[in-house]
Each structure stands twice: as C-alpha cells, then as structure tokens.
Structure 1
C-alpha cells in the first residue's frame, strides 16, 4: 500500500459500517493490517466515566422535564381552566343585570323590550369573549341597591341571580371587599344637574341647604351630607330627574355619564355643572363571588384594550356617549379612551403569545 493512500486513510476515517466476512479482494488490500471498522480498545476507567456522564445527562434532562411539567401543571390557570371553574362550560344563557332607564347608557324600549346604550354594548362585547352569542344573553333590570347582591328583576317581577352586573357600578375598596369586580371599563366623574334657572354650581358646597337627589348606595350620598345638602335617595335615576323637572328637588348629582343623556334629552330644561372634583369614577363589572369569572372578564377587557384592530369599545363610545357632549357643554361626559388594564395572569400556549 502506498504511503499517500495510508496518509489519506488516516486523515479521513470512514463511517462505521456493519461487519462483513472478508473477501479475497479485501485480503489483497488489507494484508496484515487491522480492519478499519474495528472498535478501539477503551480502558475500563474511561468507559466508567462515559457511563457516569451519560447517566448524569439523563438525570438532568429528566429533572428538567419534570420541572417544566410541574410549572405547567401548578402554574397560572388556562382560559379553559377558568371557564370550567367559572361554571361556564355547557351554560346556554348568560344573565346580565343592567340599568333600564338611563339614556345613552342602558335604556329599555317599553314597546319592543330591546335594550340599548354604552353599557349594553360593553356587556355584549364581554359576553362574546366568554363564548356567548347575543341570542344567549338575557338582560335583566337591576336597581342600584341590588347590584352588590347580584339580584335583578325579570319581566314578570321575579328576582333572579345574575352572572354579571354591568350597571354604572363604580369600583371602590368597600365594594371590592365584598364582591369581585373587574378592572374599569369607563372613567367619568361626578357632576350636578339642575334646572336651567338655577344659579351656577361650582362645588357640592353650593348645594348647602338644598334638596339633592341621588341614587341609593351611590358614592354621592356621603359627599352631599358633608357638603351640607339634604340627600334624597332613589333606586332609579329617572325618578330623580322626574322629581327635578317637577320642582321636588333642587339638584341631582351622580356620575356625569349617567346624567348626560337626560341633559341631552331635555336641553331646554336642564343643565350640567362642572363641580371640579378630581376623583374619578371608574365603572367595573361585578361577578359576585365568582373569582374565575372576574379573571375572564378582565381578559375580555384586556383584549379589547390591547388589540388595535378591536374597535368595539370605541364604536360603543362614539355611538352612545360622544353625541351627548354637545348638550353638556364644559362638563366632560367621560374619558374617550378605554382605561388602561394589566394583562391578566392567564397561562397561554407558546403559539398564543402574540394573541392579545
């Protein structure tokens, strides 16, 4: 065998191949040299180190798999987990408590029974994310004082426990200590509405000694007392407005977004006053004691907020609230952007990471 051929064979070892019986040609080529596919002799101590290394790598790999599975199995719940925990799986109808007497927010047509308004569109949006079509949503009128109890009234006058309350419900520490409420879906502020002939109202203190109607259990009641006014509580804001127009009350105070529709409806009789309160009223959705449902509602609101292609919130605002601003003058009806919301702690598969 030539030296050049031996050099090439040393430089490039052929891949392993199955052992075969030598032929006459092989004998001519190889002579007394060992076959190329003979395994080198590995000392016992090296073989032991190799086996220990392989065992260590296998153990590390197994530990990683177990750890990953443990994190996945015991980590944050998936959306499917939450739907099951919230008892939505197999549910055919979603009951939602809403106001029925507030133009621009939630108003029920007495002839058709149809509801419309900003809150109604938000309720439909959230219900859709929960897996319910508009036909599977049933709205029930709910009084202000019954929102925390999740008790609404059906058309036959019977009380029913609702799944959600979307009814101009401001998020407060006191309320969230009793029930689960979502992150805010609208930001507005408190205002005062009077008849046209009333003097300007720059603060609640200007109502001292006057009768001011507000909603029962609302955030306005204590502020009126502190200002020296005499609060009169009603369960329906329409009752306050009727009393104001009839001269029974001197003023009505509650959230600007609630009152704006009435000012727009009776522009020659009523006017809104900007009382300069810096505290914002942020409306949330109540889910009672259903924590998993609260997380799912937050996920629905987050998707609406984070997805620039999702214009359902903006469409609801432009349709029902923006047109009311002209009649309300310098009193802002509501902030025209959906409130910022953190992404809920919901586990998603890797291929879902780019999905809001």
Structure 2
C-alpha cells in the first residue's frame, strides 16, 4: 500500500533588496549627486579663483612669442654675461625656471641687462631703444619703498644679508657698518645699503654697477664695498681664483669678506610691475618648485652657483641654502584634478659650464645659515 507524503515545505528566495534598502541607496545617490553639483557649479559658472589658463590670458602670455627678462650682467655667481654672449648665475637659472613654468623654452627667453635705477620701472635697452621687460630678476630686494615706486614683487626666491668687502690687507675689524664711519664706501645706486651707510656716518658713493665699485676698490678710490653678500661673494671668489669667473676687472687683488652680523635680512623678489596675474603665475612657479620633493631645480641652481663659493667667503654666509617659503595662490580646477599645477620642467643644461678648479663643483654639506634669519 503506497503511502502518500505531503509535499515538503519550500523556502522562498528573498529579493536582492528590500524596498527599505533600495530607498536607502537612492537617498545616498541623491546626496552624492548634490555634493558633486555644489562642487561643480562654481567651476562651470566661473565663480571663485581663476584657472591657470585664465591667469595666462590675463597676464598677456597667450600667443606671446618672447619673454623679456631684465637681469644684471656683472655679478659673478648671480648674473654674469659671458664674453661669448652667454649667461651664467643663480638669477639666470631662476629666470629659466620661471620661464619654463610659463611655457617658454630657452630660445624664447630674451635676457636684457638692466641698471639698478631702472628695475622699478622695468626699462632695459634692447635693439637701440628702451623696452619694458616682462620680469625683473636682478638681485632685487623687496622693500616697502620700492613697492611705492611701482614695483610689484613675487614671493622671495632667495634670502641673503648685507655684508662688506675690503682688500685682503685691511687690518679691520669690520664687524658692523659703524666701523666704516668716516670712510669712503661704494654701493649700488638706489640700493638699500646707501641709507644705512649715511646713518652711520660713512661717505656713501653710489654706482649703477657693483663691478664699478669693486674696480674702485682695486684702484684705491674707496675703502670698502657693501651690498648683499650673495652679490659680493662672486668677486671675493674670483679675486682668489681668476679662473672661477670671467669678471674682467683690472689690477685685481685678493679681497676679504666681512660679516657685519646685525644687518636685516635681504629678500630677493621678481618684479612684475602692475601685471598682478603674472605675479601670481610667478608665485605658482616658486610654490611648485618649493613643495615638490622630487623637483631639485632651485637646489641645483644654488649648488651650481653659490654653495661651492662658501669656503672662499668665510666667515660670511653667502646666502640661505633653502628656498624661502612660497606664497600659495588659489587656482580653480576640477575636483578630480590634482590641485598642484604642473611642475616647472628642468630648464636644461646652462649655455656655459663654469670652470671650477680644485673640485669646487662638488656639492658640499649644509652651510651656516645667514645671520639675517
């Protein structure tokens, strides 16, 4: 006799999502879309800070074929025009660093010698006439007075301090500007050093080129020369080793570099004049250089031009060995883009490789900090 069995109970599969979970996912998606909308609308509509492309347009760089940069031409280690027409120095490397960030290659950069008194108005001779340069990168210390005269400065790209050089047989000591009271001291016209010399009772003589001051020191017409240590260091180095720089001064004698200790810090900046968009782009270039640990353009410029001179200039520090803290410029980008703008490319090898005898090209350890810090 067959026995009927009752059908076994079957378990019904639950749907992959309950109405409550589907509702939760819908709410979450709505929130995400709302957040994206809040982030994207200002960008699409053009609110907030400008983009890098807008800064380039406002700065007048779109379609520009040449970048004119005013530089010094007689400062060994900083900016020196060589007998063959090439250029060498820390300011020159900084000029190419910034130009690269602005999408100009070396062939599009025109370096023009500029006098100290013309740096505020950015006027330099070019093709038998004076032109207004785009940038002034000419060992130009940032001061309130120069800002009032029309200079618009970037963040500083180098820190140094005022110092003094004399002939090596100067008995001294020269431990402060007060030690130069009553003596003839040469410095750059319109430099920050002139006022300080007058305050201590020295006879201040201003010249347009610091090389003219050094020549007068060699000729016995002045007792000392004072300006920023980074500028004077190259002359001291060249006086001890004529192969170091092709300075071309006559009757050169060994020089001595004096640390006057209490002088204020000198902060060198780039003058862009009234072009504030260009100033912001320069600051972006300096920020990118300072904040990327793999980018060594500034450090290489320091090593190649300044660090190796330190032994010849002791006890005076040539300059601070770290790039100054840059100014952060806000720029507008899409949320998925990296905020930091493209890093400035390495400007490539310099057009002239300086002769460095006795292993001076070897990178050295960290030097003494400037007493201005």
TM-score by length of 2: 0.77
> Aligned residue for 2:249?
none
Candidates 295, 300, 304, aligned match of 1:310:
295
Kindly provide the CA deviation profile for residues 10-63 of structure 1, in whole angstroms up to 9, marking residues without a partner as x: x75799xxxxxxxxxxxxxxxxxxxxxxxxxxxxxxxxxxxxxx9xx9999779
Q: What is the deviation of 1:265?
A: 1.1
| Other-structure match for 2:57 | 84
Q: Which 5+ residue runs of structure 1 have no aligned equivalent?
A: 16-53
2:329 matched residue in structure 1: 344
CA contact (8 A) 2:99 2:109 kept: yes
Q: Please name the residue that 1:256 is paired with.
A: 229
Structure 2 counterpart of 1:164: 135
Larger displacement relative to structure 2 (63-72 or 83-92):
63-72
The answer for the alignment partner of 1:353 in structure 2 is 339
2:167·2:218 contact (CA, 8 Å) conserved in 1?
yes
Deviations 1:119-162 (A, max 9, x none): 101100110000000000000000001000000122x4421110
What are the residue-to-residue correspondences of 1:215-294 with 2, within 5 Å? 215-267=188-240, 268-294=253-279
Kindly tell me: are residues 59 and 120 of structure 1, through their superposed partners in 2, closer, same or farther at Cα, counting changes over 3 Å? closer
Aligned length: 312
Q: TM-score, normalised by structure 1?
A: 0.81
Match of 1:151 among 123, 133, 138: 123
Question: In the alignment, what sits opposite 2:20?
Answer: none
- How do residues 48-127 of structure 1 correspond to structure 2 at under 5 angstroms? 65=37, 68-70=40-42, 73-110=46-83, 112-127=84-99
Given that 1:190 and 1:277 are in contact with CA atoms closer than 8 Å, whether structure 2 keeps it comes out as no
Q: Deviations over 1:244-282 (max 9, x none)?
A: 110111111000001110111113521111001242101
CA contact (8 A) 1:142 1:151 kept: yes
| 2:162 and 2:263 in contact (8 A); partners too | no
Residues 288 and 340 in structure 2, CA contact (< 8 A), matched pair in contact too: no
Quick check: 1:245–1:269 contact (8 Å CA) kept in 2?
Answer: no
Distance, in Å, in 2 between the alignment partners of 1:353 and 1:331 is 40
How far apart in 2 are the matches of 1:164 and 1:173?
19
Secondary structure, counterpart of 1:221 in structure 2: helix
Unaligned runs of 5+ in 2: 1-5, 18-25, 241-252, 344-373
CA distance in 2, matches of 1:301, 1:348: 19
